Amino acid sequence: MESKQQQHLIIIGAGAIGLLTALNLAPHVASITILDRNEAGRESSWAGGGIVSPLYPWRYSAAVTALAHWSQDFYPQLGDELFTRTGIDPEVHITGLYWLDLEDEPEALAWAQRLQRPLKAVSMDSVYHQVPVLGAGYERAVYMADVANVRNPRLVKSLKAALQTLPNVEIREHCAVTGFLREQGGDRIVGVQTEQGDLLADQVVLTAGAWSGDLLKTLGIDLPVEPVKGQMILFKCADDFLPSMVLAKGRYAIPRRDGHILVGSTLEHEGFDKTPTVPALESLKASAIELLPALRDAEVVGHWAGLRPGSPDGIPFIGPVAGHEGLWLNCGHYRNGLVLAPASCQLFADLLLGREPIIDPAPYAPAVRLG
């Protein structure tokens, strides 16, 4: 086999995961073609809220936590690097996050103590002092000061711009992959079929988000990655309207630096449909007003839906596919693909290049999980 350095890679899907996978690998391989059915970075990675933490981090497995913690430490550096390289600021905004009236507050605090995370119970007086626009009637809060949010549409824009400066990377948009090419008489994957013809590669990487399971069906592989629809609404307020992220009853408000406030999100199993709906709009508005009553008088300036790549326990599939040499997965990040992206893509690059992995790859290994 050729050394990795001389290899040509195809990456299927230009969301945050595909783009960052390409950025990590580009210095180490001969060339990369990233294919996207639509425009790069316009699906889940655009639609998400961009909280750089799982919503309730203590409820996740050690596998998700390991990726989240590595990524959280790395995000400010990633934001700075992308801004320097492209002039597009992904706005990694450290605002902290207040969880209100948690049912499992003791578990949250125990988790924080065990893992040495700066999450602590705070008095409601201090919360109302810090966030005067918060709705009345909340009784308890925990706070983690170092939680950031990233302006994800800008993150994907800056990733795309960074890749466009690299001579050995091509981003081919509006080029849907329809299947895989197998070596004649064998199972090795040697390329992809697209609506515009066949393309050959030494390694094929599947980063097609919610669509990854569907594509693998063409090989008879049953990958449990399914679309989970999420709707969000957007308000525009004064820059200093909301100083921190707030979360209650599964709904959250995220302040961007310029006063845009995102409120999300729904969890719906509607297949690949991503039409925004009136009941979701009404329900999100009601949550927004309960959290931040002043939003009653604010206009909803945006409402959209995206498809999360749902996977068992939200654990992504990262690594080679057994029985199909040349085929790799980095997909299934469910509700946490933005926070998990830096670690997932670094781990993925380590595995593909045969380097010492940043963390134990076993919990994510398709070879183990797909049997």
Ligand X SMILES: Cc1cc2nc3c(=O)[nH]c(=O)nc-3n(C[C@H](O)[C@H](O)[C@H](O)COP(=O)(O)OP(=O)(O)OC[C@H]3O[C@@H](n4cnc5c(N)ncnc54)[C@H](O)[C@@H]3O)c2cc1C
50-65 as b/e: b if 16+ CB within 10 A: bbbbbbbbbebeebbb
Contact residue for ligand X among 9, 10, 11, 17 (CB under 6 A): 17
Considering beta carbons, is residue 214 or 290 the nearer one to ligand X?
214
Query: Which residues are CB-contacts of 341 (< 8 A; sequence separation ≥ 6)?
Result: 16, 17, 20, 71, 333
Kindly identify the residues of this chain, within the stretch 193-252, that bind ligand X according to CB under 6 A.
Answer: 207-211, 215, 230, 232
- 31-35 and 8-12 strand pairing: parallel
- 197-200 and 119-122 strand pairing: unpaired
Does residue number 51 form part of the binding site for ligand X (CB under 6 A)? yes
Tokens of 357: 């992995």
Contact residue for ligand X among 9, 10, 11, 14 (CB under 6 A): 14
Does residue number 50 form part of the binding site for ligand X (CB under 6 A)? yes
Contact residue for ligand X among 295, 315, 331, 352 (CB under 6 A): 331
Considering beta carbons, is residue 216 or 356 the nearer one to ligand X?
216
Does residue number 82 form part of the binding site for ligand X (CB under 6 A)? no
Does residue number 160 form part of the binding site for ligand X (CB under 6 A)? no
The one segment of 30-38, 85-93, 163-171, 219-227 that binds ligand X by CB under 6 A: 30-38
Considering beta carbons, is residue 48 or 363 the nearer one to ligand X?
48
Considering beta carbons, is residue 15 or 326 the nearer one to ligand X?
15
Strand order in 8-12's β-sheet?
169-172, 31-35, 8-12, 203-206, 327-331, 317-320
| Cis upstream peptide for 265 (omega within 30°) | yes
Least separation in angstroms between residue 293's CB and ligand X is 23
Contact residue for ligand X among 117, 324, 335, 369 (CB under 6 A): 335
Tokens of 361: 């790859």
Does residue number 306 form part of the binding site for ligand X (CB under 6 A)? yes
Quote the radius of gyration of the chain (alpha carbons, Å): 21
Match 């001389």 to its residue by tokens. 6
Distance of alpha carbon 289 from alpha carbon 253, whole angstroms: 10
The one segment of 29-37, 82-90, 107-115, 161-169 that binds ligand X by CB under 6 A: 29-37
Strand order in 189-194's β-sheet?
177-182, 189-194, 197-200
User: Total binding residues for ligand X by CB under 6 A?
Assistant: 42
Does residue number 38 form part of the binding site for ligand X (CB under 6 A)? yes
Q: Where are the alpha helices (H) located in 195-322, listed in sequence order?
A: 212-217, 278-291
Does residue number 181 form part of the binding site for ligand X (CB under 6 A)? no
Distance of alpha carbon 156 from alpha carbon 96, whole angstroms: 23
- 226-236 and 300-310 strand pairing: antiparallel
Nearest of 311, 242, 355, 323 to residue 17 by alpha carbon: 311
Distance of alpha carbon 38 from alpha carbon 42, whole angstroms: 8
Considering beta carbons, is residue 264 or 363 the nearer one to ligand X?
264
- CA triple 12-18-20, angle to 5 deg: 155
Distance of alpha carbon 144 from alpha carbon 95, whole angstroms: 9
Considering beta carbons, is residue 306 or 326 the nearer one to ligand X?
306
Considering beta carbons, is residue 7 or 212 the nearer one to ligand X?
212
Least separation in angstroms between residue 124's CB and ligand X is 25
The one segment of 36-44, 105-113, 295-303, 361-369 that binds ligand X by CB under 6 A: 36-44
Does residue number 92 form part of the binding site for ligand X (CB under 6 A)? no
Q: How far is CA 272 from CA 13, 45, 228, 267, 364, in A?
A: 16, 15, 8, 13, 25
Contact residue for ligand X among 265, 287, 311, 346 (CB under 6 A): 265
Contact residue for ligand X among 26, 48, 102, 315 (CB under 6 A): 48
Does residue number 142 form part of the binding site for ligand X (CB under 6 A)? no
Contact residue for ligand X among 119, 177, 221, 237 (CB under 6 A): 177
Does residue number 338 form part of the binding site for ligand X (CB under 6 A)? yes
Q: Which residues bind ligand X (CB under 6 A)?
A: 12-18, 35-38, 43-45, 47-51, 176-177, 207-211, 215, 230, 232, 264-265, 306, 308-309, 331, 333-339
